[in-house]
Amino acid sequence: MIYEAITLNVDKRGVALVTLNRPERHNALNRKMIAELHAVALKLADDDDVRVVVLTGNGKSFCAGGDLSWFRDTLAMDRKGRIAESRALAEMLHALDQLPKPLIGRINGATYGGGAGMVSVCDVTVADSAARFGLTEVRLGLIPANISPYVIARIGAARSRSVMLSGKLFGAEQACILGLVDQVTDSLDTATEAQVTVHLEASLSAVAATKKLIAFVDAHDIEASKEYTSEALADAWETEDGREGIASFLAKRLPSWRSGG
């Protein structure tokens, strides 16, 4: 697939770099970028050669939210059309959230609105110390609708109120305190590579199963979770990676996914 609003590069380690590529618009979301992000998420999910995905932006911004030209075009639609546009954004975020690989956010600059939503679907996020953040929708008379399930899941309802209701801007350190990002750094490439390296030590099948496990346990009570986890661990013991991991530990050698075997 030829992309216009994003780029995709996969290195020999199986690390996929997805870059938002509308720097002249501060990587603001429009219909094409949303469609391409959805497509690339589905593609990477099905690619067994990809082990880690990094999401970043080209230029000075990570993502400045929704493109106002896209908003203008959407306003010209009927209600059915506007719902379809909104649903496309929701489905893209869901596809990134459900990616069965570690998704590392390399947050290189300004991150507003929908950009904060994409930060929230990442499994771990590293932000440049100069990055700025904001859930700014209310300043446009809008609401942070499609991104809210992920932002609230990441930082909680109370902290979401503290930033969503005013639309105020805040820095990377405050984003870290809120829990929106995991690490703030002056050496973004070094910090991102450190995250990539540690995630490459994990079994791909175990990562996928663990992401499903976290989602299930977070959404169910203890009785349902006991049932699910009992079967999930039994399933893990029976997988090829589970058997290989235990055997390699007992033999004091690296498992195949770390040794290249």
Q: Could you tell me if 66 and 121 are in contact, meaning their C-beta atoms sit under 8 angstroms apart?
A: no
Q: Is the dihedral angle over the CA atoms 96, 73, 107, 161 positive or is it negative?
A: negative
In the chain, the domains with their CATH numbers are 6-199 (3.90.226.10), 204-259 (1.10.12.10)
Evaluate whether 70 touches 31 at the Cβ level (below 8 Å): yes
* Residue 99 CB neighbour total at 10 angstroms: 23
Asked if 55 contacts 105 with a C-beta cutoff of 8 angstroms, the reply is yes
Summarised one tens digit per residue, pLDDT across range 24-75 is 999 999 999 999 999 999 999 999 999 999 999 999 999 999 999 999 999 9
167 phi-psi bin (left φ>0, alpha ψ -120 to 50, beta other): left
The whole-chain average pLDDT of the chain stands at 96
pLDDT at residue 261 tops 80:
no
Tell me the pTM: 0.96
pLDDT digits (tens, 9 = 90+) for 232-252: 999 999 999 999 999 999 999
Distances (CA, A) of 171 to 88, 204, 211: 29, 34, 29
Q: Using one digit for the tens of pLDDT, what is the confidence trace for 127-142?
A: 999 999 999 999 999 9
pLDDT range class, residue 1, cuts 50, 70, 90:
confident
3-state secondary structure the chain: CCCCCEEEEECCCCEEEEEECCHHHCCCECHHHHHHHHHHHHHHHCCCCCCEEEEEECCCEEECCECHHHHHHHHCCCHHHHHHHHHHHHHHHHHHHCCCCCEEEEECCEEECHHHHHHHHCCEEEEECCCEEECCHHHHCCCCCCCHHHHHHHHCHHHHHHHHCCCCEEEHHHHHHHCCCCEEECCHHHHHHHHHHHHCCCCHHHHHHHHHHHHHHHHCCHHHHHHHHHHHHHHHHHCHHHHHHHHHHHCCCCCHHHHCC
Closest residue by Cα to residue 10 from 19, 23, 20, 22: 19
